[in-house]
């Protein structure tokens, strides 16, 4: 079902002590919105974060996983390993993973299948580069990314998928897509879903926006009808800022 979601992607930040500190600060924040709250610490801190948030309305999710279940994949973590900790959701396809770690549409489709086979929920990220937007081909790029990794699935799989539109030019740059640019793309994504899977699916999938969302701009972005929440990088590392965004709904 379509829900409001605000997820914090901590990326490669915070050791154990900082994780403890940030989580205890998050627990002190008051939630006044209906948004589901998620945080994605690094693999090494997942277990601690999971334990520390047990009684709280904060879901701990993973930033990535491998598509294989086990074997000779040094340095990688499988869906089964995440599930063994109690992790139920994984972020896949973040632009940093696509750009620096060779993630392709093909490997992402395999990761999607592996996550679903393990009954995990997926936050699937995609978005165009600045050169794509300047050339006016942002919709083609986004359509291709979504179709290549997800459109082999049947309609019921979309109950386990959250989409995160993250224009690469807006990630960590301080540059945000305007609320209108976000809305236009989210409406396009919903239409793309509808064309293949029908309105039941397109109206029930949550579509998050990511790219320099801050307390100062969250309300306006979240006010758009097709924006169901945010994937937050930098601002998720500060408990007050993160909850100001959560409470922007």
93 binds ligand PEP (CB under 6 A): no
User: How far apart are CB 236 and ligand PEP at their closest, in Å?
Assistant: 7
81 or 171: CB nearest ligand PEP: 171
Residue closest to 187 by CA, chosen among 229, 227, 158: 227
The footprint of ligand PEP on residues 137-196 (CB under 6 A) is: 166, 171-172
Site string for ligand PEP, 221-240 (x = CB under 6 A): ----------xxxxx-----
Pick the closer one to ligand PEP by CB: 46 or 125.
125
- Does position 9 interact with ligand PEP (CB under 6 A)? The reply is yes
In the complex, minimum distance from the CB of residue 64 to ligand PEP, in angstroms, rounded to a whole number: 12
| 123 is an interface residue for ligand PEP by CB under 6 A | no
- Contact pick of 138, 206, 212, 217 for ligand PEP (by CB under 6 A): 212
**Least distance CB 120 / ligand PEP (angstroms):** 19
Out of 94, 96, 128, 143, the active site residue is 94
Q: Does residue 211 interact with ligand PEP by CB under 6 A?
A: yes
To the query of whether residue 66 is one of the catalytic residues in this protein, the response is no
When asked if residue 210 is in the footprint of ligand PEP (CB under 6 A), the reply is yes
- CB nearer to ligand PEP: pick between 89 and 202: 89
Q: Does 61 bind ligand PEP (CB under 6 A)?
A: no
What's the CA gap between 24 and 139, in Å, rounded?
A: 41
Tokens of 138: 């942002």
What is the smallest separation between the CB atom of 129 and ligand PEP, expressed in angstroms? 14
DSSP result, the chain: ----EEEEE--S---HHHHHHHHHHHHTSPP-S--EEEEE--GGGHHHHHHHTTTTTEEE-BS---SSSSSS-TT---HHHHHHHT--EEEE--HHHHHHS---HHHHHHHHHHHHHTT-EEEEEE---HHHHHTT-HHHHHHHHHHHHHTTS-GGGGGGEEEEE--GGGSSSS----HHHHHHHHHHHHHHHHHHH-HHHHTTS-EEEESS--HHHHHHHHTSTT--EEEESGGGGSHHHHHHHHTT-
Residue 166 falls in the annotated catalytic set: yes
Provide the annotated active-site residues: 94, 166
């Amino acid at each position: 079902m379509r829900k409001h979601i605000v997820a914090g992607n901590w990326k490669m930040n915070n050791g154990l002590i900082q994780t403890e500190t940030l989580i205890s600060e998050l627990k002190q924040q008051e939630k006044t919105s209906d948004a589901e709250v998620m945080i994605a610490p690094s693999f090494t801190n997942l277990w601690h974060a999971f334990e520390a948030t047990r009684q709280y309305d904060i879901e701990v999710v993973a930033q990535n996983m491998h598509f294989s279940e086990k074997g000779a994949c040094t340095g990688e973590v499988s869906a089964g390993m995440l599930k063994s900790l109690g992790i139920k959701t994984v972020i896949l396809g973040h632009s940093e993973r696509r750009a620096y770690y060779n993630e392709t549409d093909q490997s992402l489709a395999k990761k999607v299948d592996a996550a679903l086979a393990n009954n995990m929920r997926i936050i699937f990220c995609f978005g165009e580069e600045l050169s794509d937007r300047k050339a006016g081909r942002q919709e083609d790029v986004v359509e291709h990314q979504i179709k290549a990794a997800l459109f082999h699935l049947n309609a019921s799989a979309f109950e386990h998928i959250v989409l995160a539109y993250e224009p690469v030019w807006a990630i960590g740059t301080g540059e945000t897509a305007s609320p209108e640019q976000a809305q236009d793309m989210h409406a396009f994504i919903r239409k793309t879903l509808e064309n293949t899977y029908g309105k039941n699916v397109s109206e029930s999938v949550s579509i998050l926006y990511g790219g320099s969302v801050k307390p100062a701009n969250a309300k306006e972005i979240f006010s758009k009808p097709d924006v169901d929440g945010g994937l937050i990088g930098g601002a998720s590392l500060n408990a007050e800022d993160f909850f100001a965004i959560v409470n922007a709904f």
